[in-house]
Amino acid sequence: MNDKQRAIIPDDNIQMVDLQTQYRRLKQEIDAAIQEVLVNAQFINGPQVKTFAAHLAQYMDIPHVIPCANGTDAIQIALMSLDLQQGEEVIVPAFNYVAAAETVAMLGLIPVLVDVNADTFTMDVNKIEQAISQHTKVIIPVHLFGQACDMGPVMQIAEKYNLYVIEDNAQSIGASYTDPSGKVKNAGTIGHIGTTSFFPSKPLACYGDGGAMMTADDKLAERLYMIANHGQEKKYRHKLIGCNSRLDTLQAAILNVKLNYLAEFNRIRIHVAERYNEAFEQLSDIITPYKPAYTSHIYHQYTIQVKNGKRNALQAWLRERKVPSMIYYPIPLDKQEAFKVYACKAGNLSVADHLTQVVLSLPIHTEMKANEQDYIIEQVIDFFRKN
């Protein structure tokens, strides 16, 4: 590429996720939704919360959506609803955000870490059975970076050993999973309970904290509702030990608008990812994201693997050229100080460990301009030309 053909440096700062431009695009609808909440002043459990839960249930094709305060609470409440005893074990992936393992440990349960696949980053289903003991009660597959974990084998194992499955779908809402019989389902609706987060950068996001649980099981739904609302059966009748975990009415109003754009936003990110894939095809030092046939990919993250020890140098190169990038995740859970006591329960986690050394997530969002992406691509290609 000669100088005349070089991509133009974009005027605005490149961001991992551009929430400001997205807000400007949706401003009229969002402002009206917020205004309505302010005027009605039903800030807790206002009608928008129920409406949103109903709309999301319809979108996900599942009978029950139970909103709560954030995605971490969603996992915690899901675990609380299963009547588990202290010391019982829950299988979680080692290469992951901390939330699943953290809530397990916080409830006095034991997180048993399982390795992940090198190509999909999700839990290696072939390693689940060896992690099962007589104390195992739950598996938490995590649908990481925008695609689904291979749920068919997870559900088969769960049935064989009589285990519950909680799908952590914070990053992949709107992704679909094709089960071994060919039936297409939404990620997050396959296990006993699905959980999600509406953190501002997530695929379905509000302007603060928010989360939800979903289930097809009426009894579990009732328990989830109660636990998220102080364990109340009726006002001041506390049947279960619960917590206070509510989705704010304001956030629900925002989510009611954003849900209408979820499919479009997911499609835009897929388009951005496809442009990256095409541009990086010839780079032998990069592994682009792999999408197996059983899942769609909504590219919450566009995460490459950088070979030959060049990851950190590439990140520094991009930083110097004002291209942000992130390492999701820099340390496997067994090596985190808080989780060292649980490392003895883990199997071989060499893939998770390896991934922490090679992964790099590039900017991807619903507002990415072509010239912005061209500039990012050019910086990546330039690095490998010279290094």
Ligand X SMILES: Cc1ncc(COP(=O)(O)O)c(C=O)c1O
Give me the least distance between CB of 99 and ligand X, in Å please: 4
In this structure, is the dihedral angle defined by the CA atoms of residues 134, 97, 256 and 271, taken in order, positive or negative?
Answer: negative
Q: Between 81 and 373, whose beta carbon lies closer to ligand X?
A: 81
Q: Between 97 and 339, whose beta carbon lies closer to ligand X?
A: 97
Sketch the per residue contact string, 129 through 158, with ligand X: x for CB under 6 A, - otherwise.
-------------x----------------
Give me the least distance between CB of 120 and ligand X, in Å please: 14
Give me the least distance between CB of 170 and ligand X, in Å please: 4
* Site for ligand X contains 97 (CB under 6 A): yes
Total binding residues for ligand X by CB under 6 A?
13
* Site for ligand X contains 361 (CB under 6 A): no
The encoded tokens of residue 121 equal 């980053």
Task: Please choose, out of 24-32, 58-66, 164-172, 370-378, the segment that lies near ligand X by the rule CB under 6 A.
Answer: 164-172
Q: Which of residues 198-217 bind ligand X (CB under 6 A)?
A: 199, 209, 211
Task: Please choose, out of 67-75, 76-84, 227-235, 309-317, the segment that lies near ligand X by the rule CB under 6 A.
Answer: 67-75
Classify the phi-psi angles of 174: left when phi > 0, otherwise alpha if psi is within -120 to 50, otherwise beta. left
* Site for ligand X contains 121 (CB under 6 A): no
Residue 170 is given by DSSP the state: T
Q: Roughly how many angstroms between the first and final C-alpha of the chain, as a whole number?
A: 17
Applying CB under 6 A, among 76, 120, 147, 171 the residue interacting with ligand X is 171
* Site for ligand X contains 280 (CB under 6 A): no
Strand 302-306 versus strand 359-362 pairing type: antiparallel
Q: Residue 355 and residue 105: Cα distance in Å, rounded?
A: 24
| DSSP secondary structure of 284-316 | TTEEPPP--TTB-B--SSEEEEE-TT-HHHHHH
Q: Between 77 and 318, whose beta carbon lies closer to ligand X?
A: 77
Task: Please choose, out of 65-73, 104-112, 176-184, 270-278, the segment that lies near ligand X by the rule CB under 6 A.
Answer: 65-73
Q: Are the beta carbons of 130 and 83 closer than 8 angstroms? A: no
Helical H segments across the chain, by residue range: 19-40, 47-60, 71-80, 99-106, 151-161, 218-228, 249-259, 262-280, 311-320, 350-358, 370-386
Q: Residue 125 and residue 387: Cα distance in Å, rounded?
A: 37
* Site for ligand X contains 77 (CB under 6 A): no
* Site for ligand X contains 71 (CB under 6 A): yes
Q: Residue 243 and residue 264: Cα distance in Å, rounded?
A: 35
Task: Please choose, out of 25-33, 120-128, 168-176, 237-245, the segment that lies near ligand X by the rule CB under 6 A.
Answer: 168-176
Biggest alpha carbon distance in the chain? 73
Q: Residue 175 and residue 169: Cα distance in Å, rounded?
A: 9
Peptide bond into 329 cis (omega under 30): yes
* Site for ligand X contains 76 (CB under 6 A): no
Task: Please choose, out of 163-171, 227-235, 273-281, 312-320, the segment that lies near ligand X by the rule CB under 6 A.
Answer: 163-171
Q: Are the beta carbons of 327 and 315 closer than 8 angstroms? A: yes
Q: Which of residues 180-199 bind ligand X (CB under 6 A)?
A: 197, 199
Strand 237-238 versus strand 232-234 pairing type: antiparallel
The encoded tokens of residue 84 equal 């588990």
| Residues facing 211 on adjacent strands | 68, 197
Q: Residue 176 and residue 308: Cα distance in Å, rounded?
A: 33
Give me the least distance between CB of 328 and ligand X, in Å please: 8
Task: Please choose, out of 64-72, 80-88, 119-127, 267-275, the segment that lies near ligand X by the rule CB under 6 A.
Answer: 64-72
* Site for ligand X contains 92 (CB under 6 A): no
* Site for ligand X contains 95 (CB under 6 A): no
Task: Please choose, out of 82-90, 165-173, 238-246, 370-378, the segment that lies near ligand X by the rule CB under 6 A.
Answer: 165-173
Of all residues in this chain, which one has the CB nearest to ligand X in the complex?
A: 71
* Site for ligand X contains 329 (CB under 6 A): no
* Site for ligand X contains 70 (CB under 6 A): yes
Q: Between 265 and 317, whose beta carbon lies closer to ligand X?
A: 265
Alpha carbon 96 to its chain centroid, in Å, reads 9
* Site for ligand X contains 168 (CB under 6 A): yes
Q: Residue 30 and residue 20: Cα distance in Å, rounded?
A: 13
Return residues touching ligand X (CB under 6 A). 70-72, 97, 99, 142, 168, 170-171, 197, 199, 209, 211
